Structure 1
Amino acid sequence: MSDTSIPVTLNISPVATTSSPTWIPPVTRLIARIKAADFDRRLAVGAPAPAGSALAAHCARLTSPREREAVTRALRRIVRDARGRGPLMSSRVPLHTPNIAAAEDLIDDITLRLHSPRPVAARGMARLRVLLADGTGPLYRYGRGDLTGRLGAALAEL
């Protein structure tokens, strides 16, 4: 007997794809982008992210390789600029170079962790993003707080 079977291909329609847990409606993704700073602050303190919500979409973006690379680049640029190798004139908020110099080893540990293939937690990523965005925080010249402590907390949450 010869095998005369016909190959069957599966035709998956977009409707079938929407039931997948990885599919996020465009409106939900847009809300997650618009409210990113607010969502970062919520996640940094441990707010839960219900499945299918804009907060869950933000969590998915935070833990993506693209976002991990963006945070890594920002941390490396801060260390480079604090060493005096950055631009002479900049419109950015001035850095607190003594704090950064004291936390340089910890920043290196964080960048290595972000480059590792292991998954990261959204809470740790949110803490890093809040730290980077807070112009009144310990990363910047006129800010307050304990940079080493905040970086250590973020690393522990990653």
Structure 2
Amino acid sequence: MTGPFGPTNNHHGVGHVEWTSPAAGGYSSQAPLLARLTARLLVTRYDRLLANGATASPHSAIGIHARRLVTVAEREAVARSLRQAVEDARTLPAPWTGRSWAHRPDVLSAVDLVDTVTLRLHSPRPVTARGMAKLRLLLSDGMGPLYVSGRGDLGGRLRSALAAM
């Protein structure tokens, strides 16, 4: 079956083709309550699925989550978090703030790339749920390249998310 959100491959609403909808977001009143609740509870799981190329049927939990990812509010929140990571890398936060510290050398070397990503997030051009999911996973992975205790290639992950957007 094919709909405005791409082909659906099973009754769970998850397939293996890139999400392509430029939907502005918001919850549909036609979506079941359980799907809307599940979309809010399993955000990391759905971010991983979308980042790996899963598609979603419109009223499934993952479809609802994907629509929320491409909203202006979510784009601004992700851009704000990326800018905060740069600010944290430039100035050491006070130890009592409870925020994770950014990996200073990696973040400072990727400032231009972070600027490019945030400009893209603020542009009027649509973004994909896949690119947004990749950015959200980068921000939420405390063991990833963005944070002091993490590992990986920050520039590579930012470029991958940017290419997927």
TM-score, normalization by structure 1: 0.82
* Structure 1 alignment gaps of length 5 or more: 1-20
Corresponding residue number in structure 2 for 1:5: none
Corresponding residue number in structure 1 for 2:18: none
CA distance in 1, matches of 2:121, 2:92: 23
Q: 1:39 corresponds to which letter in structure 2?
A: Y
Deviation at 1:89, TM superposition (A): 3.2
Among 55, 74, 95, the residue aligned to 2:102:
95
Deviation at 1:142, TM superposition (A): 1.4
Deviation at 1:61, TM superposition (A): 0.3
Corresponding residue number in structure 2 for 1:121: 128
Change (3 A) 1:147 1:83: same
Deviation at 1:67, TM superposition (A): 0.5
CA distance in 2, matches of 1:88, 1:80: 15
CA distance in 1, matches of 2:69, 2:105: 29
TM-score, normalization by structure 2: 0.79
Runs of 4+ in 1 over 6 A off after TM superposition: none
Q: 1:131 corresponds to which letter in structure 2?
A: L
Counterpart contact for 1:32–1:55, Cα < 8 Å: yes
* RMSD (Å), alpha carbons: 1.6
Corresponding residue number in structure 1 for 2:23: none
Query: Are positions 1:64 and 2:48 aligned together?
Result: no
Query: Are positions 1:76 and 2:83 aligned together?
Result: yes
Corresponding residue number in structure 2 for 1:155: 162
Among 42, 47, 55, the residue aligned to 1:48:
55
Which structure has the greater CA radius of gyration? Answer: 1
CA distance in 1, matches of 2:115, 2:124: 16
SS, match of residue 138 in structure 1? coil
* Structure 2 alignment gaps of length 5 or more: 1-26
Among 142, 145, 153, the residue aligned to 1:146:
153
Counterpart contact for 1:82–1:95, Cα < 8 Å: yes
